[in-house]
Amino acid sequence: MKERRTLESLFRERGFRDFRWIDPKAIVVAHWVRMKCRFGCGEYGRSAACPPEVPSVEDCERFFRDYETAVVFHFEKAVARPEDRHAWTRTIDGRLIDLEREVFLSGRRKAFLLPMDSCLLCDPCTGRRATCKEPRRARPTPEALAVDVFATVRSIGYPIEVLSDFAQTMNRYAILLID
């Protein structure tokens, strides 16, 4: 419990105030999520941190079972134009990647972040993990690892809905796995 309070203080010091703890075994992994990536996302095959450059769904599920604790970070935002969301998420994801490093350096050797948006570190992305220019900072999103974000965050009481208009307030989530 003391370790959680220490981490919570660190999160708050870094400006992350809306978060909840989750047992990684409660993270919902589903094949349909990978299919949505493959047949519904423009990043598929174009990002070094997205499918098909990530492990199989079965390997992703096993990966989450290697952890005892995780934190889900919640972010809300309404944007005027759809493309405005990328600058916002790029900034927050960069800060989260820095937080992951701090958590790692505090002794949690398995700290691993799943940011809320596709990797936007390089423009253009090489599209291949083997040629990634930022391999130490590039991370897959929860969806890239087949996480059903809707089911997962709803299970811990967070709001999330399918939006019909980009002017609506988004509820976005990142997951930090910790051990």
φ, ψ for residue 130 (rounded to 5)?
-65, -25
d(CA 175, CA 115): 7
Examine the pLDDT at 1 and tell me if it is beyond 70. no
- Mean pLDDT lowest among 35-44, 104-113, 125-134: 125-134
- Give the pLDDT confidence of 110-145 residue by residue, as tens digits: 999 999 988 877 788 888 888 888 888 889 999 999
Q: Which domain holds residue 61?
A: 2-178
Which helix (H) or strand (E) segment holds residue 36: the answer is helix 31-38
Residues present in the chain in total: 179
Q: Where are the alpha helices (DSSP H) in 24-83?
A: 31-38, 57-65
DSSP character string of 103-147:
HHHTT-TT-EEE-SS---SSSS--S-GGG-S-TTT----TGGGTB
Cα gap 21→19, rounded to integer Å: 7
- Pick from 119, 165, 170: nearest CA to 140: 119
What does the pLDDT read at residue 16?
98
Sequence-ordered list of residues with C-beta below 8 angstroms from that of 9, at least 6 positions apart, any chain: none
Of 120, 144, 179, the residue nearest 52 (C-alpha): 144
pLDDT digits (tens, 9 = 90+) for 61-82: 999 999 999 999 999 999 888 8
Output the pTM of the full model.
Answer: 0.94
Residue 111 has phi, psi (to 5 degrees) of: -55, 130
d(CA 20, CA 158): 9
Lowest mean pLDDT segment, chosen from 5-9, 88-92, 113-117, 165-169: 165-169
Cα gap 154→160, rounded to integer Å: 7
Q: Which residue has the higher pLDDT, 123 or 150?
A: 150
What is the count of structural domains for the chain? 1
User: pLDDT at residue 159 above 90?
Assistant: yes
Peptide bond into 124 cis (omega under 30): yes
Between 145 and 45, where is the model more confident? Answer: 145
Q: What is the predicted pLDDT for the residue at 129?
A: 81
